[in-house]
Structure formats: C-alpha cells, structure tokens
Structure 1
C-alpha cells in the first residue's frame, strides 16, 4: 500500500474529521461519568449498575479494538470507520428509549463495540494520507485531541447538564456521530494490498486476554486487588496473552506479529502510551472529584478550570515529532514522562485550601509532559510496521491507551478510597452507625451527613475534605512512582546487537 496522493485541502479535512471522531470516543467516558449522579437519581440505578454503565464501554472497547483494526486493514479503513460511527449514533440514542439498568448497560456495550471500530481507522487513515515528512504534525494534532478528549467530555457534559436532563449526554453524541458518519464518507480510504485469511482464533484470543486484564483492573477499584475475582481475571488475562503470543508467533499471517515488540522503538512507544494514560486518567479521575467535592465547583466549571493543560499540550504535541528526530525517541520519551511525573506530583499536593494558580501550574506541567510524549510514542508504533498493518498498529496504540486508562483509574480509586477511609475514621467515631458508614465510605457521604447537622457539621465537612486530599496525595504519588519506574525501564532499553525487527 502506497501513501495516498492527495491535495493539502483534502488531507486537512481528513485530519479534522479523524480528530473529531477520536475526541468523541475518548470524551464519551467522562461525559457519562459526569451525568451518572443525575441518571442514578432518575432511573434508580444502584452502585453496581452505575459502575457497569461506565466500565462496560471501556471493557468492550479495549477487548475488541485489535480485531477491529485488523478488519479495517482487510476490508477498508473508511468503510469500517463509517460503520462504527453509524453504530455509535444508534447505540447512543438507545438510552432515550429505555431507562432500565439492563438496557443502559447493553446500549453502552454496543457503544464500546462502535468505539473499537472507530478508533483504529482514525489514526491509520491519517498515516496513510501523509508522506513520512508530513505525518508528524498531523499525528501530533490527533494525539493532542485524544489527550484532551477526557477534558472535552467534562466540558460538554457540564454544558448539556446545565440546560437539559441527563438524556442530552446521549442525544448530543448520537447526533454528532451521525454527522461525522456523513463527513467520513468523503475522506480517503486505504486497505492492505494483499488479502490474506482473517485470523479468527488470534482475534478471539486477543479479545479474551485484553478483556480479562481490563475487567480485572476495573473491578479492583471496587473489590480490592486481593479479591479472588480480580486475581482470577488478571491471571487469566496473562495466561491468555501468553497463549496469544505463542499462537501468533507460529502463524504465517498473524493478526499481530508479536515480533514487533522486539523492535525497540515499537515497544518504547507501546509502553510510553500505557504509562501516559495511567497517569492522565488516574489524575483526571481524582481531580474531577477534588474539584466538585472539595472545592465545590459545578461540573462545567470543573472542566473549564483545567484549560491550562491545553496551553502546554497542544504546542508541544505539534513539536513532538521534530524533537524526536533531533533528540532521539528514548531521550524525548524519558524527558516527557519525567515531566508527567512532576505534573502528577504537583496535582497530588493540592489541598482543600490550595489556590487556583497551584492547580493551573500543575495541569500545565502535566499537559507539557503528555504533549512531548504522546505523538512521538504513536509515531514510533506506526512507523515500525508495514503500511498494510496500519490498522493493527493503530489498534495496539489504542489498546495500550485503554489498558493504561483503566489501570490509572483503578489504582487511583482504590488507593484514594482506602486512604480516605483510614484517615476520616477519627472524625466519624462519634456518629450514629448509618451516618458513620456513609461518611467513612466517601467524601460525598461525609458532606451529605455534615449538611444534616447544619452548622455543627462543619468540622465533619472539613475533616472529609482533608481526608480526601490526603488520599489523593497518596494515590497520585503511587501513579507518579509507577510512571517513574517505567521511565527508568525505558531508559535502560538498549538496541539489540543483531537486528530483530520483523
């Protein structure tokens, strides 16, 4: 497959449509998260059902993105993209017709399937539309939008919920996806130059292995890392991943050539993406609660006050590819990830009485680290596969992104919850049992109990906010430590003496 010969205007249009699509897919996570309290109040969803309404989207997306990328390579990237956008629109509209827990969860699972069909073509179409010298800025813009997707979701959800019911957070994306499906019909398409049999067993093994890993990570936030369900899922995921690697290494036409991970640049890019999104989504998870529950901001304001992240992320994302050529991928990756670590630590230091400048500086530093690393990592993954496999390579980028996001949220959530409960107990010991249980469970519960006591509950509210900030510090410190350890590991990767690139 050759790079498509396109005029600059059509390339710019293709980039715009692809960025809009990937922003919608990423933003749909935080859009529904923000609307969940209103949904639960009106539909009667219990806590377990609320968790599944959020998590099933990520689970299905992560599990199916690799087979979806292979389908795009085989049958045409534009066709798979348009199909995904149509399914996304229909499944987003489904909650308008049902408010049952089963219906909402089923609709969200179909939306996850649609997202898996959308994600790989967005990046592979960009890569196939530009010559190597011109890809850097286009991929940088795509990576910047993907990085800001969660923040955009917060802002969109806040705007919609300010004026409409929770149904609007599904109707809005449904309409937008339908419009994008029409627009996507006009972008260039590409596919592999030589047809080969689709690897059905490899697709099944990849879906089961990634699905089991993501399921275990997501459930850890609720059940704890020592839960038999969590441990069983994680062990099953690792064993299935090993079986997938063994099977794929013996196939003449594999779904994913696992020898790619012996390529230093490819493996550096994949690990870098995982670490970036572990930090970014874990931090965003904690910050969304901090801003609303500790600082008392409305959902819309919670998204808007994070705008400084774009000030550093966007320009550095556009400069990432030239910097990678100048400094080298490993040097730029380690520098960017070290900046991410600094940003996460600065966010963790925020407390109940921290001023806005401290928040602005922290998110600006985090955005700078993501801007430096995300486009370079994505380019490293795509540049080390043949053009026929752009869809699969894009899917690897997407799968590592989703695994990292799930890991970040689960780690931040579990550490924050455990630390909060252990810290706030000293202030809730004198409360009646039901009130104590609510206050010990979450800062939202502590604030609700405090309101029942009127002015006398002020001390409890302050204790809850302080305990949450304490828990946020330890959770983000743990994320920073993981990213720092990964940065050291990346710095130690050496080029093999003999070429092992496939």
Structure 2
C-alpha cells in the first residue's frame, strides 16, 4: 500500500495535532525545566519525540497517525524552551548573542535538511520512513546531551502555580484550536471558530488577571511593561508565523500547482534555509554596527516583501523568482531571530 487513506481533514489534523499540543504545553514545559532541571526535561522531551516518531512511522490508520503526531508535539514542547535555557546558562552574557545566532542558524539547517531528506525518502521508501529517520537522530542527540549538557535549574523556583498553569494550557489550546479550525474551514466567522478563539482569549485574559494577583505567579506579567521585551516577543511570533506559513504553503504550491516532486520541492526551499544559515550566526555583527532596532526593522520589511510576493505567484512564475523570494525571506528572518531572542532572554 502507498498510504493509509487519510482524508484532507485527517491530513490537516496529522499536522495540527502536533501544533496544538506543542503550543498548549510550551509555557508549562519551560516552567517544569526551571523547577526539576533543564537537562532532565530536555532528555525527556527528546525521548518522547523519538518514541512518537517511531510509532507514527508504524501507523495503520489516520487516527493512529494523528495520535502519535500529538505525542511528538508533547515531546517537542519540552525540548524547545530547554534548549534556550541551557544556552543562557552555559554561555556568559557577552557570548550569548553569538550562541543564539548559531542556534538560529541551525533552524535554517533543519529547514534545509527536512524537506530534502523527506523528498529523498518519499521517492525511494514508504511514507513512514520520514518519521522513522528521526529515531537514529534522537539516539545520537540523547547520547550527546548526556555527555555534553550540564544540568541547571532555577535556584529559587518558588511555589507552584497550578491555577496559572491550567489557565495557560486551556487558553492556548482553545486559541490555537480556533485558528486551526478557521484555516481548515477557510471561514473565521464560523460559530465553532469564533467560540474557540474568543474563549481562548477570555481564558488567557483570566490567566493574566490571576498572575497579577498571585503571590507566586507562573510568569511575571511586569516583563511585558518593558517595550524591548514586548516588541521582541511580537517580532519572534511574527517571524515564526511567516516561516511556518511559507513552508506549509510552499509544499502545496510547488507540488500541487507546479507539479514538482517532493524532492524537487525540498530543493527549492534551500535558498531560504541557506540565507538563514549564512546570516543568522553573523547577525550580531550587523547589530553591533547598526543597532538592533534598525536591523530588526529592515528584517521585518524583507519578510513582509517576501510574503507580499507570494500573493503574486501563479502557475507560470519563473523558478528563479521563487528562489530569490525564498532567499530574501530567509535573509530577513536571519536578521530578526537572533537579536530578538537575545533581547527576550536577557530581559
């Protein structure tokens, strides 16, 4: 058999179950890392992600695939915040911009390797191989983490805030579900979509209200009074919004509209990844020269220009134009992610 007979909706949920769990648990996973040790949480997250990948590869039905993808998202939620926390603990303050630049550059490497490897595997093996290939990578990562990564935790974690944690999970899950459902229906005025999004926003407003009044808040809301912190958080959200949107859209555009194979489509994303890998580790040098505000502003304008170009693509747009747009997009992102991540972490 060549597949498991998933409908369009089931295919979307194979992607979205991961996103939903990942987004809902990110904040809580970060808190747990601070309390019980970031290395422990990182190892746990990678292990769960690897198990989820192996099970996803063996899925016999769309329902199984959606479930195991959710398990992968659960593991990933524990990895993402812990990696940055470890970086901030290992490197001195003046070395942090360089370390975060390399970290952001590695995102570009992942963007490049993922679609190309996926394309190669789909051309030569069955669909489950794109999940199974994660398993040896996870084993290597676990060995490297055990040997190389020092453990750290918040020396004064304070009391647990179970109400705040519960509100954050419910609020984020409702909000993300509403956005996903709106995309699935291509209608953000649908009752289920509006109820989910409004409900999520109301629960998150309740979370903020609770955190302001709590003697041991899960997050100090006063951080958001710092313009540098709030602007950086907004910028990183918009960059990842653009990045995920572009990669998701490109897969359908390049294969369904243009008729390229999975491997060819992966190779066409390389300019975006290459720009990220080339410029992200060097972004701190540009920031030193021109200042973070100017660099991030130009980066955001480049990303916006790239997104605007996507609106003009059709079935006959020359390939070189696609490559240039992807490269411009990657260049913009590479000059935003490192400085804004440094600003958030150092704040």
Max radius of gyration: which structure?
1
2:41 aligned residue: 80
SS of the residue 1:63 aligns to: helix
| TM-score, scaled to structure 2 | 0.94
Correspondence for 2:12 among 51, 66, 69? 51
Taking structure 1 as reference, are residues 357 and 47 closer, same or farther at Cα in structure 2, changes over 3 Å only? closer
How many residue pairs get aligned? The number is: 345
Alpha-carbon distance, 1:176 to partner: 1.6
2:201 aligned with 1:200 = no
Alpha-carbon distance, 1:162 to partner: 1.6
1:337-363 per-position Cα deviation (integer Å, ceiling 9, x unaligned) = 011112222343333222222122111
Quick check: 2:159–2:216 contact (8 Å CA) kept in 1?
A: yes
1:294 aligned residue: 257
2:182 aligned with 1:220 = yes
Taking structure 1 as reference, are residues 152 and 214 closer, same or farther at Cα in structure 2, changes over 3 Å only? farther
State the distance in 2 between where 1:195 and 1:357 align. Answer: 52
State the distance in 2 between where 1:332 and 1:198 align. Answer: 39
2:204 aligned residue: 241
2:343 aligned residue: 380
State the distance in 2 between where 1:180 and 1:269 align. Answer: 30
2:268 aligned residue: 305
Pairs within 5 Å for 1:75-474: 75-147=36-108, 149-186=110-147, 187-223=149-185, 224-384=187-347
Structure 1: gaps spanning 5 or more residues = 1-37, 385-502
Quick check: 1:126–1:139 contact (8 Å CA) kept in 2?
A: yes
| TM-score, scaled to structure 1 | 0.66
SS of the residue 2:156 aligns to: coil
Structure 2: gaps spanning 5 or more residues = none
Quick check: 1:350–1:358 contact (8 Å CA) kept in 2?
A: no
CA RMSD of aligned residues (A): 1.7
Pairs within 5 Å for 1:24-35: none
State the distance in 2 between where 1:97 and 1:279 align. Answer: 32
State the distance in 2 between where 1:281 and 1:91 align. Answer: 21
Taking structure 1 as reference, are residues 72 and 323 closer, same or farther at Cα in structure 2, changes over 3 Å only? same
Runs of 4+ that moved beyond 6 A: none
Alpha-carbon distance, 1:108 to partner: 1.4
SS of the residue 2:73 aligns to: helix
1:155-200 per-position Cα deviation (integer Å, ceiling 9, x unaligned) = 1211211211012112111232122112211212211112422221
